[in-house]
Amino acid sequence: MPRAPKASPSVTVAQRPLAVTPTVDPTKVATIEEIGQDIATAILEKRLPPGTWLREEALGRVYGVSRTKVRAALLTLSKDKLIEMIPDKGAFVSKPTVQEAREVFGLRRILESEVVRLFIAKARPRDYQRLEQHIRFERSALRPHATTGTVREKLLGDFHVALAEATGNATLAELVRELVARSSLIAMLYHSDNDSHCASGEHADFLRLCRSGQVEAAVASMTEHLMRIEASLHLVQDGPDRQLDLINALLA
């Protein structure tokens, strides 16, 4: 596969070949939505780390579609901030700055506090059952050799999305979904030390507070949970050496 051109300072991570294994049905022509979802999944599962060059020609071969269709899927992902479209260079997996990382978690604390209040006010028994089942999935994934760390992290993030969806506010849920996805990129880039066992336990403690109707205690629990996740990040501006180490670690 041809090598990527030398990157500008805004895309300094090594631009390795694509690592997308499509999950769409190979007997059917992939839709724009399916291509976008497949690429988004590859990003969140760390197969496409921050800074990866997403070549339209290569993706077209992977999915058996035109570059026009690929470009439409990439534009959709750029609206969700998962990728960055750089004029005259192409599409790259987004590489959030330290400032952006702090802003994302700050905004999550604001939005998810409102999510908690709405959830307690509107949740039905089936909503609690769904979230309790999700926590059981998390705990199952935490068993030794059960799943990869990436799958565990995605399950933990999905809890927040499911909570937002249960409020019935589609716009709020969409915003939370975008911020959770961006948080996954941030955790990948800034080497999160988040303890999955601790995070899942905090989800369970939080849900018990919701069930008992303790609104402010539940809000405080969610806020502290997000603050701990942010504190687990190494939020320092990385130089080229650390970026190369990141790529080498993902390829090992």
Task: Write out pLDDT tens, residues 147-177.
Answer: 555 666 778 899 999 999 999 999 999 999 9
Q: Report the pLDDT value the prediction gives residue 155, as an integer from 0 to 100.
A: 83
Place of tokens 């809890």: 159
C-alpha to C-alpha distances, 25 to 34, 35, 98, 113, 180, nearest whole angstrom: 10, 11, 38, 39, 27
Q: Domains, the chain, ranges and CATH? A: 9-95+238-251 (1.10.10.10), 98-231 (1.20.120.530)
Place of tokens 């369970």: 204
Region 106-123: mean pLDDT is 98
* Nearest alpha-carbon partner for 52 in 21, 88, 12: 12
The model's pLDDT over 36-65, given as tens digits with 9 standing for 90+, comes to 988 988 887 778 888 899 999 999 988 999
pLDDT in tens, 10-22: 333 334 445 555 6
Average pLDDT over residues 120-138: 95
Q: Would the pTM of this model clear 0.85, i.e. be above it?
A: no
pLDDT at 100 exceeding the cut of 50: yes
Q: Which residue has the tokens 């041809």?
A: 2
Average pLDDT, the chain: 82
110 Cβ neighbours under 8 A, 6+ residues apart: none
Task: Give the pLDDT mean for 199-224.
Answer: 96
Evaluate whether 102 touches 110 at the Cβ level (below 8 Å). no
Region for residue 227 given its phi and psi (left: phi exceeds 0; alpha: psi -120 to 50; beta: otherwise): alpha
State the average pLDDT over residues 106-116: 98
37: left (phi over 0), alpha (psi -120 to 50) or beta: alpha
Contacts of 188 (CB under 8 A, 6+ apart): 46, 49, 50, 246
Band (237; pLDDT cuts 50, 70, 90): low
